[in-house]
Every structure is written in C-alpha cells, then in structure tokens.
Structure 1
Amino acid sequence: MATDEITQKVSDRYARAASTGEQMCCPTNYDMASLQSFIPDEVLKISYGCGTPAGLKTVSPGETVLDIGSGGGIDCFEASRLVGPAGHVIGIDMTDTMLDIARKNAPIVAANLGYTSSNVEFRKGMADAIPVNDGTVDLIISNCVINLAPDKRKVFREMFRVAKVGGRFTISDIVADQPVPQYLVHDADKWGDCLSGALTLSDYIAGMAGAGFLGIHLIKFSPWQVIDSIYFFSVTLTGYKLPASSYQSDIRYATLRGPFSRVVDELGTTHLRGIPQPITPDAVCLLSQAPLASHFVLSSDPLWLDRADDRWTAVYPVDAPCAWQGHFAMLAGPFAEAADDDHHVYRRGEPVEICSKTLTVLETDGYAPHFAIINRAGQNVSGGAVTCAPNGACC
C-alpha cells in the first residue's frame, strides 16, 4: 500500500473508534481509579495504547511535554497533572474526531485539577512532520502510535529535532521479534491493530540511535500476541538528546562494575569489568545518565576493581546441567553489546536462544531490567537437561 493510503486508513479506523467507542489495540495498565478523578469518561473510553508513558514518573514539574498521537488526550491530561500549572503539554494528532474530543475536555480537566486555565493544547499534525519548533520539548511521549507511521525513521528524526538538548523521550510501542512479512504489511486492518507496521526491537532502537538519541534503554516489557509464529510485544523505552562534546568534567576514566563481564557502549567503546577505560567528554555525559551510571565508577584517575571490592557486581551461573525450554532473550539497552559470565554475547535487539540456567541469571535484579524475554515454544516442552561443554559454552 502507498504511504498516503496507509495513513488515511489508520486515521479512518481511529475516527470510527472515537465515534463508536470501539475497543482497539493493546496491553495497557492505566490507573483508572486515579484518572477518573479528573479526566472525563468520554476521554477514558477511547484511550488506546500499549503502555502508560506519562504515568511512569518520567515527568517533572514545569516541563514542556509533547505527546505524539495524543488521541482523546488521556496521556496529555495525565502529563498536565504531573507538570503542574507552570508546565506545558502539547498533543498532536492527525484525526479530527480525536482532536475535537480532546479540545472539548481540556478546560474540564484544567478545572478538575484546580488550574485557572488549561496548560494543554492540541494541534493537528503528523508524527513525521511535527508542528513544534526546534529544541523546545523537555520530554516526548507516545503511546502505541509510532508503529502506525509508514516512515518511522522520519518520525525519530523529528523527535530529535524538537527535543531540547538534555531532553528525552519515554515512548510505548509494539515491536516484533522478527521482521513482519509483506502479506501482513499490506493488510490494511492489521495496520490499525498495531501489527503491520511493527518493527523488530533491533530496528526500532537502531532507528532512534540513528536519529541521534543515546542512552536508549528498556523501562517496561509486556508480551502481547503471536501471529503466524511472529511474537508481538509492548516495550516502553527511554533515551536522551545529550549535549555535544562541549561537556566539561574532570572525569577521565570509567570502570565497569558489572554485572556484565563486558559491554560496548553506544559510542563504540569496549569496557571490561574492573578495568579502567579512558573516556571522552561525550562518554562522560553518556555514562552519567540513568541507568548507565549504576554500572560504572567514573573517576579522574584510573581505578581498578576486583571481586573483593563492594562495587564489583556479578551473577555467576550455577554449576549444573541446563534445559532448553524455548526461551529467547533480547538485550534492550543501554548497551550496544554485552556479555555475561557464561560466554553469551547479546547484541541489542537481537534474539538469543537461552537455556534454563541462563534464564535464571537474566531474571536476577542486575540483568532483568535490560532484557525482553519471550518463549517461542509452541507447546510445553520438557527440555531434557544437558551438560555444558568443557569450555562452559553450553548455550
């Protein structure tokens, strides 16, 4: 299908849903009891998405927040409460029916929050041509919308353009564990279901990195559905538009604490656990961001760590046979590549088959926040135990 045809069909589908109250899409987890206290039911009943980006405590008072594909306004209105009366929220959407509902309810929400006037405005626009000035947004949010855009890389570039230096995004979207085949790409109904336009996790993160964002990492992961052996799942991701190399600091070295034994950061530098690595001012800025900062000791002089140091972290595999049960792990940041202590190498977004022993390691607190794990087994499998090879590379 042509790009314009995709856009029109998606817009028509959501306009119809807004008029009829049709339920659409994906796994959400709104705190409806809280939202009902200030958001009208007319908005709540047409709130579609696959996450709650504005409700993840990513919003700070006084900030300017942009919501791409704001629909009836639920995420904008939640952001409105979080930024407070001194903040500003901009919602953009391409569907007139949605915009009409959002605009009608904006003053009602403001009154319910005790504001003298609404701090939310809704603009008609496209995700790949955002009607917002350069460098004016502190936080970009989006809830299951970017997968609907035919040219996602253009959307990512637009996001980078409007973000302030030091700004960030927190977006929820549907991705897949493998490329979506053409027979689904050209299925108009599946576009509206957030399936046909889904990228792989690898391509999604690569698109954001290609636009200039850094520190891209996973906030939340939720399995959704399987169609023709393709696993679709919801992710919430955060990343930053960091300052250029003018960043000033006395820090000259970074020492990886763990739990990974080796990582490659997004600037291409390899770090080995416990060994100080000279870093550039750009790397200082990157590694100072959450969650990377928790994995490193930054210092002005070289600093070595060993197992006796409290700052050294590791999760070692148990010395036992493992079983294959259909699990695959995908590194979802904040590193381009990482290795554990059992010789597994993970490249961001690429599925790696793992055994039961490795699954146990990746489910620990040190690893779990950085991985999306799916099970591709079509049925329950016994996965008979096997013994690792002499070099430890069982997987």
Structure 2
Amino acid sequence: MPIDEITQKVSDRYAKAASTGEQMCCPTSYDMADLQSFIPEEVLKISYGCGTPAGLKTVSLGETVLDIGSGGGIDCFEASRLVGPTGHVIGIDMTDTMLAIARKNAPLVAANLGYTSSNVEFRKGMADAIPVIDGTIDLIISNCVINLAPDKRKVFREMFRVAKPGGRFTISDIVADQPVPQYLVHDADKWGNCLSGALTLTDYIAGMVGAGFLGIHLIKTSPWQVIDGIHFFSVTLTGYKLPASAPLSDVRYATLRGPFSRLVDELGTTYLRGIPQPITPETVRLLSLVPLASHFILSPRPLWLDRADDRWTAIYPADTLCTWQGHFAMFAGPFIEAADDDHHIYRRGEPLEICSKTLAVLGADGYAPHFAIINRAGQSASGDAVICSPNGGCC
C-alpha cells in the first residue's frame, strides 16, 4: 500500500472519529476525574492513546514540550498544567478536525488553570516532518501515534533533530512480539487500529538508537490484543539525547552492583558485577542517567565489590520445581544485553521463553521495571513441573 494512501486513510479515520465520538485504540489509564477539572469534555471524549506520557510526571516546570500527534489535545493540556505558565507546549497533528477542536479549547484550558493566556499552540504537521526548529525541545511526548507513521525511522530522526542536547522523550506506542506479516501490513483498517504499523520492540528501540538516542528504557507496559498468534502490547519508553559535553568529572570507573550479573551498555561496554570497568567521559554521562545510575557505583579509582558488601545486589531463583506456562520475557533496556544469576541471557526486545522460577525472579523490584512479560500459551498450558539442573539447563 503506498505511503500516501496509508497516511490519508489514517487521517480520514481519525477525522471521522473526532466528528462522531467513535472510541478507538487502545489501553490507557487517564485519571479522568482529575482531567475533567480543567479539560473540556469535548476533548476528553476523543482522546485516543495507549498510555499517559504526560501524566507519568516526566514533565517539569518551565519546560518546552512537543506532542507528536496531539489529536484533540488531552496530553498537551495535561503537559500545560505541569510546565506551568512559564513553560510552552507545542502539539502537532495532520488532521484538521482534531486541530480545530484542540485550538478551540486551548483558551478554555488556560482559563481553568488560571493562566492569563494559553501556553499551548497547535501546528499542522507530520510526524516525519516536524514543524519545529532544531534543538529547541526539552521533552518529546507522543501517545500511540508513531506506529501510524509509515516511515518510523524518519520520525525518530526528526525527534532527535528537534530535541535539545540533554533533552529526552517519553512516548507510548503499540509494539508486537514478532514481525507483523504482510497481509496485516496491507490491511487499511488495521492501520487505524494501531496494528498494521506496529514494529517489534527490538526494531522500535533500534530505530531510536539509530537516530542517536541513548538510555532507552521501559516505563510501563500493558497487553492489548492477540491476532493470529501475534501479541500486540503497549509500551511507554523514555530515552535521552546526551549533551555534547558535561562538567568536568574525576569519574574513571564504573562497578556494576547488580542485580544483573552482567550488562552491556548501548556504547558497547561490558560490565561484570563487582568488577570495576574503565569508562570514557561519554559513558559517564550515559551511566549517570535514570535508571542506569541505580545499577552502578561510579568512582575515580577502581572499586571492587563482593557478596559481603551491602552494595552488592543479587536475586537468586528459589530452590523449587519449575513449570513451563507459556511465559516469554522481553528485556527492554536501558542496556542491549543482560544476564541474571540463573544462566539466562536477555537481548533487548527479543522474546525469551522462561519457566515459573524465572518469572518469579523477574517480578522482583530489581528486575521488573526492565521487562515486558507475555504469555503465548493462553489457557492451554499444562506442563508438568520439572527439576532444573545445577547449570540452569531446564530454563
């Protein structure tokens, strides 16, 4: 299907929804009771998305925020409240009907927030040709929109272009656990349902890294639909455009605390728990970001850790029988590869089948934020419990 045809069909679909109030995609968790206090009902009833990127408290006072695919404006208006009257919010959308509703309600939201004028503006534009000056955005948000763009790598490059050095993104979108087959890719209706254009998590993150973003990690995930054995789920991801330089630092080494026994960062450096690793100034900037910093001790001199040290962290599997129940774990960064203490190697975005013991381990606080878990068995799992070998051979 030609790109122009995809774009037009998606735009027409959302224009119709804006006019009729049709409910569309996807799993969201807006606090409607809160938003109703300052956002008009006309906006709330046409709010489509698969997450709440502005509502995750990633927005800071005084920032300039860009919302890609702003629709009726719900996420822009939520960001407007969080940046305060000194901040600025820009929403871009390709659908005239959506833009008209958003622009109409911007003054009402400003008045409800007690602002003398609106700090939100809405511009017509495409996600792959963002009408914003280079290097001017503190935070980019987007809610279930990038999967609708035929050329997502171009969107990611545009995001990197407009972000300030030191800027970041928090975006929610639909991804799949395996490549979407061509018969779905060419299904026009499913483009509008956020299915046909979904990338795998691996390809989605790879596109962001290819554009220049680093420190990409999972904030939240929710299952959505299973179609012909393909699991579609929403993810909210955050990543950074590293500053070109940083204040002088005497940090020269990083020691992995855990709970992972081994990690490989996005710059290709490998870390083994407890063993100091020499690092470059660029790596210092990367490892200082949230949530990478929680895994390391950064120091000017080599620092070794052992199990007796309180800073050493590890989560070991229980000494119990293991059952296969159809669970798969997808590692979602902010590292490209990781290993646990039960011989599993996780590569970012790639589904790895896990047994019940590993499922319990990955549910622990130190691991859970880094993984999306899906179950491909549905109700059909009936595997007997097995005993794992000492080298972790069963799972």
TM-score grouping bracket, smaller chain normalisation: over 0.9
Q: Matched residues in 2 for 1:82 and 1:8: separation?
A: 33
- Deviation (angstroms), 1:247: 5.6
> 1:299-355: CA deviations, max 9, x gaps?
000000111111110001122221100000000011100000000000000000000
Runs of 4+ in 1 over 4 A off after TM superposition: none
Q: Distance in 2 between matches of 1:54 and 1:69?
A: 13
The separation in 2 between residues aligned to 1:181 and 1:298, in whole angstroms, is 45
Q: Distance in 2 between matches of 1:359 and 1:135?
A: 42
Letter in 2 for 1:368: A
Paired with 1:8 and 1:114, the residues of 2 have a C-alpha distance of: 38
CA distance in 2, matches of 1:103, 1:21: 18
Partner of 1:188 in structure 2? 188
Contact 2:275 2:303 in 1 (8 A): yes
For residues 115 and 282 of structure 1, what CA distance do their matches in structure 2 show?
41
Does structure 1 retain, via aligned residues, the 8 Å contact 2:51–2:234?
yes
**Aligned residue in 2 for 1:90:** 90
Helix, strand or coil for the counterpart of 1:54?
A: coil
Which residue is 2:298 aligned to?
A: 298
Q: Is the 8 A contact 1:247 1:281 kept in 2?
A: no
1:69 aligns with 2:69: yes
Quote the Cα distance in structure 2 between the aligned partners of 1:198 and 1:89: 27
User: Do the aligned residues in 1 keep the contact of 2:187 with 2:196 (CA within 8 Å)?
Assistant: yes
Letter matched to residue 234 of structure 1: S
1:137-156 equivalent positions in 2, closer than 5 A: 137-156=137-156
Partner of 1:382: 382
Residue 378 of structure 1: how far off its partner (Å): 3.4
AA aligned to 1:351 is P
What amino acid does structure 2 have at the position aligned with 1:103?
R
2:242 aligns with: 242
Shift of 1:245: 5.4
Q: Give the whole-Å Cα distance in 2 for the aligned partners of 1:135 and 1:210.
A: 18
How far apart are 1:380 and its partner, in Å? 3.8
| Secondary structure of residue in 2 paired with 1:231 | strand
Match of 2:103 in 1: 103
Matched with 2:357 is 357
Residue of structure 2 in register with 1:48 after alignment: 48
- Taking the aligned partners of 1:253 and 1:333, their CA distance within structure 2 comes to 21
Residues 97-135 of structure 1, C-alpha deviation per residue, up to 9 Å, x if partnerless? 000000000000000000000000000000000000000
The alignment-based identity, stated in percent, is 87
- Rounded Cα–Cα distance in structure 2 between residues aligned with 1:209 and 1:146: 15
Per-residue deviation at 1:224?
0.4
CA distance in 1, matches of 2:174, 2:248: 38
> 1:13 aligns to what SS in structure 2?
helix
Q: Does the CA contact (< 8 Å) of 1:247 and 1:282 recur in 2?
A: no
Separation in 2, partners of 1:27, 1:334:
24
- CA apart distance, 1:379: 1.9
What letter is aligned with 1:69?
Answer: G
Partner of 1:280: 280
Equivalent residue, structure 1, for 2:161: 161
Q: How many equivalent pairs are there?
A: 395
| Partner Cα distance (2:169, 2:245) in 1 | 21
- Pairing 1:366-381 to 2, within 5 Å after superposition: 366-381=366-381
Distance 1:92 1:147 in 2: 16
Deviations 1:249-298 (A, max 9, x none): 11000000000000000000000000000000000000000000000000
Would you say 1:316 and 2:316 are equivalent positions? yes
How far is the alpha carbon of 1:387 from its aligned partner?
Answer: 1.4
Q: How far is the alpha carbon of 1:394 from its aligned partner?
A: 2.0
Which runs of no fewer than 5 residues in structure 1 stay unpaired? none
- Please report how far the alpha carbon of residue 183 of structure 1 lies from its aligned counterpart in structure 2 after TM superposition: 0.3
d(CA) in 1 for partners of 2:370 and 2:60?
24
- Residue 169 of structure 1: SS of its match in structure 2? strand
Measured after TM superposition, the shift of residue 246 of structure 1 is 5.8
Show the counterpart of 1:344.
344
1:247, 1:285 within 8 Å by CA — same for their partners in 2? no
Aligned partner of 1:29: which letter?
S
SS in 1 for 2:369: helix
Q: Deviations over 1:161-217 (max 9, x none)?
A: 000000000000000000000000000000000000000000000000110000000
Is 1:289 matched up with 2:308? no
Give the aligned residue type for 1:111. A
